Amino acid sequence: MNEHLRSMVAPCAGRGTRMGCAASKSMLRVHGRPLLQYIVEYWRRDCEMWYFVLNPDDVETVSFVESLDVNFKILVQEEPRGIGDAVLLAGDSVTGPFTVALGDCVVSGVFDFTGPRGAGIGIWEQASPVDVSRNYGAVLERGGGRVLRVEEKPADPSGMKCGMGVYFLTPDIFPAIRATPPDAGGYVQITSALQTFIDMGNILAPVPFSGNYINVNDRSDLERAESVI
């Protein structure tokens, strides 16, 4: 078993108000079940401890998490400060490798963990250039052994692989997040933190994924999720 999978950080504090969800996007329904339920079911076989990052008034997701048959701890993100900040909240809880699985990203397929161990990011092998532009791009070194650069929603995705909202990290990410300045909106973006991690001399490996991947940003994404789950 990949040791990253024992501890799972699930940022679920993003509000889904644009999509008619009063609490969190992770509670939007697909076939009548919350997105978060599919995420938990995908990872739960190997996961020993879950850290759910929620916004402070999200009673609905708290109730759902408490109904799950998993070991968990709820971490509260008092203000919306981005995924990087949400991951940082787990810094006092995780002591070894861990996985971050965003609460609005659905996967149906297989990750290839046969490559180098250490920090890594999911790379969606079947992605089109449009998919890269809707998610984030990753530039790999020749031979594909490590990630050289990441860019959020690149306007020109040429030569880039599609990064996923699934990250296989180590505690070395926490200093990188702290060193990453917030964007103009006050958010510490996880993509920016990953680039800081690389720039600090750390190795970030690609972890290939084969299958279906959907980052739910709008209603059309929700409809796609209905078709593949």
Number of domains in the chain: 1
Reported as a single tens digit per residue, the pLDDT across 61-107 is 999 999 999 999 999 999 989 999 999 999 999 999 999 999 999 99
pLDDT band at 225 (very low <50, low <70, confident <90, very high): confident
Q: Report the number of secondary-structure helices (H) and strands (E) in the chain.
A: 7, 12
pTM above 0.85, yes or no: yes
Distance CA 58, CA 22 (A): 9
Question: Considering the chain, what is the average pLDDT of its residues?
Answer: 93
In this predicted structure, what is the pLDDT of residue 145?
86
Who wins on pLDDT, 14 or 102?
102
Mean predicted confidence (pLDDT) in 109-126 = 92
Q: For the purposes of burial, counting CB atoms within 10 Å of the CB of 143, is it exposed (0-12), middle (13-18) or buried (19 or more)?
A: exposed
Who wins on pLDDT, 22 or 124?
124
161 pLDDT more than 90: yes
Cβ–Cβ < 8 Å for 42, 8 = no
Q: For the purposes of burial, counting CB atoms within 10 Å of the CB of 10, is it exposed (0-12), middle (13-18) or buried (19 or more)?
A: buried
Q: For the purposes of burial, counting CB atoms within 10 Å of the CB of 96, is it exposed (0-12), middle (13-18) or buried (19 or more)?
A: exposed
Cβ–Cβ < 8 Å for 212, 109 = yes
In this predicted structure, what is the pLDDT of residue 97?
96
| DSSP SS3 for 12 | coil
Least confident of 21-25, 50-54, 110-114, 134-138: 21-25
Amino acid residing at 122: G
pLDDT band at 20 (very low <50, low <70, confident <90, very high): low
Mean predicted confidence (pLDDT) in 155-160 = 96
Reported as a single tens digit per residue, the pLDDT across 174-206 is 999 999 999 999 999 999 999 999 999 999 999
In this predicted structure, what is the pLDDT of residue 227?
85
Distance CA 156, CA 167 (A): 23
What percentage of the chain reaches a pLDDT higher than 90?
82
In this predicted structure, what is the pLDDT of residue 21?
60
Residue 23 lies in domain = 3-228
Give the pair of three-digit tokens for residue 218: 């709008």
Residue 69's CATH number: 3.90.550.10
